[in-house]
Amino acid sequence: LGNKSSGKTSIILRFLEKADEKPKPSISLVYTFGRRQKSHSIDKDVVHIWELAGGTYQSNLMEVAIQPSTIPSFSLVVVVDLSRPDELWITLETLLKEASLRIDQLIRNNKSVKSVLEVSQNSRKLSQEHKDHRNVNVFPVPLLIVGSKFDLFQKFSTIEKRSIMQTLRFWAHKHCAHLVFHSEYIASTSKPLNIILNHFAFKTLIQRQFICDDSKPLFITAGQDSFEHIGSPITSDGSPAQLPSEATLEDFKKHFTQIFKQKNFEELQDKEDPSKDPYYADDVIDRIRKLKDRELEQYRLIAERKFKDKSSRN
């Protein structure tokens, strides 16, 4: 999941070791898969990957991928474009909310799903020794937040970078998620990302990581951060906000959106018609589509004429 043109397809191709392939613009929900040789066996593990295109548009298509049959091995990756902070909060908030609603729907309708998710969440809870263990909301499925286009992010001012980093750290820690910054143009950022993706896909082990430096891409594995270290959200002048108690998600939203005014939901909707995009041209399908469009227009005109006739008689 993630912003439109945030690099989701490129990340998938690199993970599947198909970096030489030119990424194609994605439409709706795209499915692909990958295989990995099992150790000491001729069998292969298979990972199923769904990519939701278009940002928050058509987020309801998540229900195709999030099913009772997929929940036991399901993980969620949300990619936010660091170069477009004016979309960051609403994108993250909308997509995680939609995913949570879909999972809640499955839990209400299927007791086995509830049991599976309880086991998953319990395994990812913070230890009792962690000072924040009572104040986090473990996301129902394993979650990774990726900040893409780190190369462009570096061009922001110090205050802007600190606000983005701090906000994403809070989102990730609050949900016991992993957090990685990435750029397809900086080779060193691919390894941390692939470590988490391989862990999600093939259950490989991961070591605890906490790389948090203003000059380096973030790499923080779930549970290694703390609200104390994150601190209060910074204000537009770079000073920490004075809060009466520990910061909440709403506190971070208030101050982040003061620094980066967010686009509204309608502005983020990708309503371009892919059937008119020459990139996807297909002679046979296009002829059938034109025929169906004419039939639809004729039907519309007939229905409109009947309605007018009926209205005039009345």
pTM above 0.75, yes or no: yes
56 contacts 265 by C-beta, under 8 angstroms: yes
pLDDT tens readout for residues 94-132: 999 999 999 999 999 888 999 999 999 999 999 999 999
Count of other CB atoms within 10 angstroms of residue 65: 19
Residue 273 has pLDDT above 60, yes or no: no
**Structure-token pair, residue 126:** 């913070």
Residue 307 has pLDDT above 70, yes or no: no
Question: What secondary structure does DSSP assign to 186-201, as a single string?
Answer: -GGGHHHHHHHHHHHH
Residue 311 has pLDDT above 70, yes or no: no
Identify the pLDDT of residue 265.
Answer: 67
**Structure-token pair, residue 256:** 């982040």
pLDDT tens readout for residues 143-159: 999 999 999 999 999 99
Q: What percent of the chain has pLDDT over 90?
A: 64
**Structure-token pair, residue 182:** 């990435």
| Higher pLDDT among residues 40 and 215, named by residue | 215
Question: In a 3-state reduction of DSSP, which class is residue 51?
Answer: strand
Work out the mean pLDDT of the chain and round it to a whole number: 88
The pLDDT of 246-263, averaged and rounded, is 93
Q: Which of 51-60, 183-192, 201-210, 303-312 has the lowest mean pLDDT?
A: 303-312
List CB contacts of 125: < 8 A, sequence separation 6 or more.
133, 138, 176
Closest CA to 157 of 75, 266, 230, 238: 238
